[in-house]
Chain A
Amino acid sequence: MSTQAYSQSTRDIVVPNTKRSFANLAMWGITFALLALSWEGADMRPLSLIENAENMSQFVSGFFPPDMSQWRMYVNEIWITIQIAIWGTALSIVFAVPFGILSSENLVPWWVFQPVRRLMDAFRAINEMVFAMLFVVAVGLGPFAGVLALWVHTTGILAKLFSEAVESIDPRPVEGIRATGATALQEVIYGVIPQVLPLWISYSLYRFESNVRSATVLGIVGAGGIGMVLWENVRGFYYAETAAVMILIIISVSLLDLLSQRLRKMVT
């Protein structure tokens, strides 16, 4: 009886339709159409890589062996670059906390979070290189212009990340705090921040990593750090020196990435 019922039921099983859906095909079509459309605009000339192979190999050979004779100066400039990133990130965290809270829709009314979010969009939309050029004009050449550039751009990014963390909190502990007669600020300090702090720290460290990378090119527009040295070497066709600087940048950025990854694992 039971085996009969079993065979009966297996016969009723239907293999579902596994053909690609129309939407799936359309997605691929759109992807390829977009790539084809952008070919000319992006001036895609893959053949020139082969045609100019000889020039290329000569160019690349100019980088070897790297010339480390001035390594003390390079290391010093990289240290300045890291210090620019430290201050740029620290200032942006200080400003991203209030801006992040003011752009969270579960904490403030729309007429507060909408304008604050648009302001943060503007901070993010403009690259730190552009801000660096502006600040070089405003405060003069040097690392301080770089710090200010990182500060504005990173504030925009961190405020968005911070507010996304705030919007995903559990509202119940906040209500528990509110029920004791706490002020709105106290609700945020005791109900919200303890919940988001690990994420906030993790985001801040991640932005510090990115800022060290960004700071290595700020010097190109005169905003201090190793970028200035790099740019001068490239412009003067000193490729062996350029190679040395690039190697030192790779080493220091990788080390900082590793360190910050460790720290981020510890907090979350």
Chain B
Amino acid sequence: MSAIQVHGLNKTFNEKKALTNIQLSIEPGEMVALIGASGSGKSTLIRHIGGLIHSDKNDSEIKVLGQVMQKNGKLGSNVRKIRSEVGVVFQQFNLVNRLSVLTNVLMGYLGQIPSWRGTLGLFTHAEKKRAMDALHRVGIDKLALQRSSTLSGGQQQRAAIARTITQGAKVILADEPIASLDPSSSRKVMDTLERVNLEDKVTVLVSLHQVDYAMQYCPRTIAMRDGEIVFDGNSESLTPDFLKQLYGDHSLELYGNNKQEKPAGNYTQKDAAALASV
């Protein structure tokens, strides 16, 4: 059983093609990088796999851990349960600013415990203990009671990873987790993801800007251009010449140092409304 399986995925935003016939399969325990220039479709692909957005209505299927996340443009019937097994880490962390770090991490339980208990915020002592353990693993347990807005970007991102740990996620989807971080925070976040991958055997799919990070942390890389997968294989075969061949003039942007990217695109209020109504 593959951890992630995508078949025939297409997505069109306002008549503009964002993803074209995506096929991919990722095995349990892999750590895979997803690279590509801004607007190449990385975020859109990750949001589809996480069940946060619908595909076009043609013949397509996305399975996560053997269960249908969405099929032919419709979310699967037990999408909430599958979401609870998939941790998503976002570029802008997506923590709730005014809640404490610990509460944010406890949110990881919402998909697992009875919904009345989650709704009332009645978490058991054991659950709080495990949330603290998760915070300890990512190195920010001392900040547990601070509001998450008071943390630095790198600390917030590690809190977001701690949330996926309490979630007991078997798959982590990380959408540009280091794009808004400085180099040393980026390294800490990538180290944390790598540890979760190696120690817990969690499958990680991480979209990245810089090819050097992809090569260092991920044995396998998938490269995208204009909504299509143009490379899928061993990260070591990504030589500068090869990248130039793949991306032409864009290759400089992919090779480190260019950190000036707008926050993940493809996101409109309308999408949020459509999703909320699901």
A residues whose Cβ falls under 8 Å from a Cβ of B: 105-109, 171-187, 189-191, 194-195, 197
Contacts and interface: CB of A to CB of B under 8 A. Distances in A.
Contacts of B269: 106, 171
Contacts of B52: 175, 178-179
Given A175-B275, A190-B110, A194-B97, 9 more contacts: A105-B273, A171-B272, A174-B272, A175-B52, A179-B86, A184-B276, A187-B276, A190-B96, A194-B98
Given A105-B273, A177-B110, A183 B97 contact: no
Contact of A176 (B95, B267, B275): B95
Given A181-B80, A182-B118, A106 B276 contact: yes
28 contacts: A105-B273, A108-B277, A171-B269, A172-B90, A172-B92, A172-B94, A175-B272, A175-B275, A176-B88, A176-B90, A176-B94, A176-B96, A177-B96, A179-B52, A179-B83, A179-B87, A180-B107, A180-B110, A180-B167, A181-B82, A182-B118, A183-B115, A186-B110, A186-B119, A187-B276, A190-B96, A194-B96, A194-B99
Contacts of B222: none
A106 B119 contact: no
Given A173-B97, A180-B110, A186-B118, A107 B84 contact: no
B276 to A, nearest CB: 5
A109 B50 contact: no
Interface residues of B, number: 41
B95 A173 contact: yes
B41 interface: no
Contact of B112 (A174, A181, A184): A181
B97 A195 contact: yes
Nearest to A194: B98
B81 interface: yes
A183 B116 CA distance: 10
A109 B115 contact: no
Contacts of A174: 272, 276
Nearest to B268: A171
A252 to B, nearest CB: 34
A185 to B, nearest CB: 6
B153 interface: no
Interface string B45-58: 00000101000000
Given A177-B107, A190-B96, A195-B97, A183 B88 contact: no
Given A173-B96, A195-B96, A106 B110 contact: no
A136 B55 CA distance: 57
A180 B163 contact: yes
Nearest to A173: B96
Nearest to A112: B277
A170 to B, nearest CB: 8
Nearest to A176: B94
B111 A180 contact: yes
Given A175-B52, A195-B98, A182 B111 contact: yes
A62 to B, nearest CB: 56
B107 A183 contact: no
Contacts of A195: 96-98
Contacts of B177: none
B154 interface: no
Q: What are the 7 tightest A-B residue pairs by CB atom distance, in nearest-first order?
A: A181-B111, A181-B84, A176-B94, A179-B88, A182-B110, A171-B272, A181-B83
A182 B86 CA distance: 12
A264 B51 CA distance: 40
B272 A106 contact: yes
